[in-house]
Amino acid sequence: MYGALWRVLPGPWWVRLLIVLVLVAAVLYALFFYVFPWVSPLLLPEDVTVE
């Protein structure tokens, strides 16, 4: 999968690397500011079943 993504991206290797870093940063931003806050009320730490 990563090889296919690398081949699809345009430009020399350093441009591809920059694009991949921007994509990773965008995914992490979306996770930390949208996905994790939305999921956190659903995951209550008080409901632990392991004793």
Give a yes or no: residue 43 inside a domain: no
Percent of the chain with pLDDT over 70: 94
Helices (H) and strands (E) in the chain, counts: 3, 0
CA distance 49 to 44: 11
Residue 45: the pLDDT is: 73
Give a yes or no: residue 51 inside a domain: no
The DSSP element (H or E) to which 17 belongs, if any, is helix 13-30
Residue 33's Cβ-side half-sphere holds a number of Cα atoms within 13 Å equal to 6
Residue 34 phi, psi dihedral angles, 5° rounding: -125, -50
Give a yes or no: residue 9 inside a domain: yes
- How many domains is the chain partitioned into structurally? 1
Range of the domain at 27: 2-35
Residue 47: the pLDDT is: 67
Give a yes or no: residue 40 inside a domain: no
pLDDT tens digits, 4-48: 888 999 999 999 999 999 999 999 999 999 999 898 888 877 766
Give a yes or no: residue 29 inside a domain: yes
Give a yes or no: residue 16 inside a domain: yes
